[in-house]
Amino acid sequence: MPILLLGGTSEARALAGRLHPHVEVISSLAGRVPDPALPVGRVRIGGFGGVAGLRRWLCENEIDAVVDATHPYAATMTAHAATVCAELGLPHLVLARPPWPPGDAIVVPSDVEAAKTVAAERFERVFLTTGRSGAAAFSAVDAWFLIRAVTSPDTEDLPARHHVVLSRGPYRYDDELALLREHRIDALVTKNSGGAMTRPKLEAAAALGVAVVMVDRPPLPAGVRTVASVEDALDWVKQFRADGGDG
């Protein structure tokens, strides 16, 4: 019986690679990113159709366990997986990469609060890296925005003054430093995604004295079992298999 690996992150791809071909893994990607980096093994792309759809899919595919290695801000998918696994009694693990230390960042709970902070602090040139869906919260803020995302945000929801850069990490420190200097950035707005792929923007901001507004992570569902590394997730799967599927 296979394991469902909720993916879309570098950790999910690494875990799929470590498990394949010894454990049957079905990696699931949300399908929001065109031409995604695909893991080894079986892959499905697209949503499940909410809690009911996920429950039906898990039963129809006789899934043995679920490992959630989605992005730290994929709160809806994480909540749905926790709910359904609890209902079905399926072993369930969340692989959550460690967050970045906030340092001197202004930590806020949401994109809306980040926009209020940018306006209140009167930042003038903002590097916005909260993703395509996060830009809408800043549409009424009177500042110039450099918006970086993997896919294009909806143009009607963007700030009046902006420039969009479409790219995908990993990013290099020297390049991030040059980008901040070129656009005379005075504030960086980011989510606390953690990991090494996008951390250089924080290091560049610190070197240049650029203020950081950091959107905090949504809380994980109560009671879920979590690990912080691919190695720990691999050990959990091995132990789960050794115990005969009792998780």
pLDDT at 1: 80
When comparing pLDDT for 193 and 244, which is higher? Answer: 193
pLDDT at 20: 92
Reported as a pLDDT band with limits 50, 70 and 90, residue 241 is: confident
132 or 69: which leads in pLDDT: 69
pLDDT at 36: 82
Domains of the chain: 3-97+218-242 (3.40.50.720), 106-215 (3.40.640.10)
Instruction: Say whether 151 sits in a helix, a strand or coil.
Output: coil
- What letter represents residue 186's amino acid? D
Q: How far apart are CA 131 and CA 30, in angstroms?
A: 15
Band of residue 35 on the pLDDT scale cut at 50, 70, 90: confident
**pTM, 2 dp:** 0.90
Which DSSP state fits 4?
E
Residue 245 binned pLDDT confidence (cut-offs 50, 70, 90): low
d(Cα 74, Cα 50) in Å, to the nearest integer?
13
Mean pLDDT of the chain: 94
Cα–Cα distance for residue pair 22/180, rounded to 1 Å: 45
> Residue 213 phi/psi, 5° resolution?
-110, 120
Tens of pLDDT, residues 177-235:
999 999 999 999 999 999 999 999 999 999 999 999 999 999 999 999 999 999 999 99
